[in-house]
């Protein structure tokens, strides 16, 4: 299997842009964005870490007339805030950014969310491209146009829809990604397979080792299919009024775990892995999926982890799940698989079902901890 460049079109009511997946893609940026042909200022938002790893390569790919002014955002979720957006906008203004300027968001999901938001509001909106450097950002956050920042009151509470003009998902940059980050992102790809792409699920089930070893062809297959799934869903339901909700599979309980553990213990994808395991218990009890299929899904999730154990009380998790922002008008929306590659949104998950599912994952955390301590 050879790695080849794939292009996936994102077509929504308000946007139409390509997501390009492949190797050595930085060279595609000036070609696709017609840099060098027109005189426009280019800004790159990145973190010092990512810039020191990959900045030289990015810079080398851009023509002399488009040498980027580099804007830095320190690493970490605590910098995904309005104060940073204001600081960055001020830096852009001082450096002469105008409405024709192009912003390159070059980093993980945090850089992508802040960069997208900055581009959405600077002079009421400038063009930007995403160059995602984590697996999570490539398969999830760079596609779909959601941008924004956190408030002290909660995550992603301020933001806007602002699609990039293109996404360049270069798999070479993933070679430097810490393994834990890679695995965490892959849980979102398993999610993609479970909710809408049985072939992707089967590929991940059968090729876990090659994927985690970052074999380019295997990574490209997984990333391409994950993006295609998300692009398809976003194309049908850009604003999350219907179908897009299925992307929240594993996220009701996953978000509750993140809240209950103060966002410190687990990476987002790891919390989602636990959330998917919990949702699978509910699906199993209801019989929306057969036991054989549940077992295959569980095994595959565990094969890409297992997600690390965490400590929280059932009460705290249930309380946090009750407050999940995906709840509308007091109803708890919950995504359940209907099989491998198909999912549905239900509103009638009971407290008892939630308790049983949460109890099950907490017991599993304990078992994992004991096993870890015994080794
Ligand atoms: N907009 C959306 O639709 C959407 C969807 C999902 C998640 N998100 C957001 O994405 C954010 C999480 O993104 P993330 O998981 O990419 O985390 P992140 O941006 O914090 O990156 C994770 C870590 O990987 C490092 N890193 C990034 N690329 C690297 C590389 N190539 N080599 C070595 N290290 C590298 C970063 O420095 C950082 O330490 C959250 O804020 C979340 O809310 C947004
Ligand atoms: Zn997620």
The pLDDT assigned to 327 comes to 53
Phi then psi dihedrals of residue 207, to 5 deg: -130, 30
| pLDDT of 98 above 70 | yes
> Which atom of ligand 1 is found nearest the CA of 77?
41
| pLDDT of 374 above 90 | no
How are beta strands 154-161 and 146-151 bridged, if at all? Answer: antiparallel
Which-ligand-closest: CA of 188? 2
The pLDDT assigned to 328 comes to 57
The pLDDT assigned to 324 comes to 55
The one catalytic residue in 228, 251, 281, 332 is 251
Any catalytic annotation for residue 124?
A: yes
The pLDDT assigned to 26 comes to 97
pLDDT band at 105 (very low <50, low <70, confident <90, very high): very high
Question: Do residues 132 and 138 touch, judged by C-beta distance below 8 A?
Answer: yes
Question: Do residues 358 and 278 touch, judged by C-beta distance below 8 A?
Answer: yes
The pLDDT assigned to 330 comes to 62
Question: Do residues 190 and 201 touch, judged by C-beta distance below 8 A?
Answer: yes
| pLDDT of 3 above 80 | no
Pocket test for ligand 1, best of 12, 15, 108 (most atoms within 8 A of CB): 108
- The pTM assigned to this predicted structure is 0.95
For residue 17, CA distances in Å to 53, 189, 256, 323 come to 28, 21, 34, 35
| pLDDT of 89 above 70 | yes
233-247 tens-digit pLDDT: 999 988 888 888 999
| pLDDT of 298 above 80 | yes
Assign residue 306 a region: left if phi > 0, alpha if psi is -120 to 50, beta otherwise? beta
| pLDDT of 146 above 90 | yes
CA gap 257, 237 in Å, rounded: 27
157-196 tens-digit pLDDT: 999 999 999 999 999 999 999 999 999 999 999 999 999 9
Query: Does residue 49 have its Cβ closer than 6 Å to ligand 1?
Result: yes
The pLDDT assigned to 323 comes to 63
How would DSSP label each residue in 320-367? Answer: HHHT-TT-BTTB--EEEEEETTEEEEES---HHHHHHHHHHHHHHHHH
Any catalytic annotation for residue 248?
A: yes
CA gap 365, 253 in Å, rounded: 14
Pocket test for ligand 1, best of 137, 189, 244, 259 (most atoms within 8 A of CB): 137
The pLDDT assigned to 10 comes to 96
The one catalytic residue in 183, 255, 332, 364 is 255
Nearest alpha carbon to residue 132 among 198, 188, 205, 202: 188
Question: Do residues 170 and 26 touch, judged by C-beta distance below 8 A?
Answer: yes
Q: How far is the CA of 139 from the centre of ligand 1 (A)?
A: 11
6-23 tens-digit pLDDT: 999 999 999 999 999 999
CA gap 15, 105 in Å, rounded: 18
| pLDDT of 322 above 90 | no
| pLDDT of 285 above 90 | yes
244-275 tens-digit pLDDT: 899 999 999 999 999 999 989 999 999 999 99
| pLDDT of 156 above 80 | yes
pLDDT band at 329 (very low <50, low <70, confident <90, very high): low
Q: Share the mean pLDDT of the chain.
A: 94
Which-ligand-closest: CA of 247? 2
Nearest alpha carbon to residue 140 among 69, 188, 73: 188
For residue 370, CA distances in Å to 52, 227, 305, 310, 363 come to 40, 37, 17, 12, 11
Nearest alpha carbon to residue 248 among 134, 166, 352, 346: 346
CA gap 361, 35 in Å, rounded: 51
333-362 tens-digit pLDDT: 899 999 999 999 999 999 999 999 999 999
Any catalytic annotation for residue 328?
A: no
Looking at ligand 1, which residue's alpha carbon is closest to its atom 41?
A: 110
Which-ligand-closest: CA of 137? 1
């Amino acid at each position: 299997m050879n790695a080849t460049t794939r292009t996936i079109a994102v077509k929504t009511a308000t946007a139409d842009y390509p997501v390009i997946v492949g190797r050595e893609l930085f060279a595609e940026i000036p070609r696709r964005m017609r840099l060098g042909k027109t005189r426009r200022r280019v800004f790159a938002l990145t973190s010092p870490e990512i810039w020191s790893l990959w900045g030289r390569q990015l810079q080398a790919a851009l023509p002399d007339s488009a040498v980027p002014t580099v804007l830095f955002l320190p690493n970490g979720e605590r910098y995904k805030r309005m104060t940073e957006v204001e600081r960055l906008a001020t830096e852009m203004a001082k450096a002469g950014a105008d409405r024709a300027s192009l912003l390159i968001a070059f980093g993980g999901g945090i850089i992508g969310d802040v960069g997208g938001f900055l581009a959405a509001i600077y002079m009421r909106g400038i063009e930007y491209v995403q160059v995602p450097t984590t697996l999570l950002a490539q398969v999830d956050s760079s596609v779909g146009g959601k941008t924004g920042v956190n408030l002290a009151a909660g995550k992603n509470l301020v933001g806007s829809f602002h699609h990039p003009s293109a996404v360049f998902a270069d798999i070479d940059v993933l070679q430097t990604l810490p393994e834990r980050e890679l695995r965490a992102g892959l849980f979102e790809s398993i999610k993609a397979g479970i909710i809408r792409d049985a072939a992707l699920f089967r590929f991940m089930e059968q090729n876990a080792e090659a994927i985690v070893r970052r074999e380019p062809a295997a990574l490209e297959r997984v990333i391409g299919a994950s993006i295609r799934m998300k692009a398809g869903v976003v194309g049908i339901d850009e604003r999350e009024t219907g179908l897009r909700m299925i992307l929240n599979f594993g996220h009701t309980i996953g978000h509750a775990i993140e809240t209950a553990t103060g966002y410190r213990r687990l990476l987002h994808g790891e919390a989602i892995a636990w959330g998917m395991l919990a949702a699978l218990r509910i699906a199993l009890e209801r019989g929306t999926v057969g036991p054989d299929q549940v077992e295959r899904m569980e095994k595959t999730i565990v094969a890409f982890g297992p997600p690390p154990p965490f400590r929280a009380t059932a009460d705290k998790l249930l309380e946090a799940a009750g407050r999940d922002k995906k709840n509308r008008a007091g109803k708890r929306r919950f995504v359940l698989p209907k099989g491998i590659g198909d999912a549905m949104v239900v509103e009638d998950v009971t407290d008892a079902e939630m308790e049983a599912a949460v109890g099950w994952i907490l017991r599993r955390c304990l078992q994992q901890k004991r096993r870890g301590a015994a080794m």
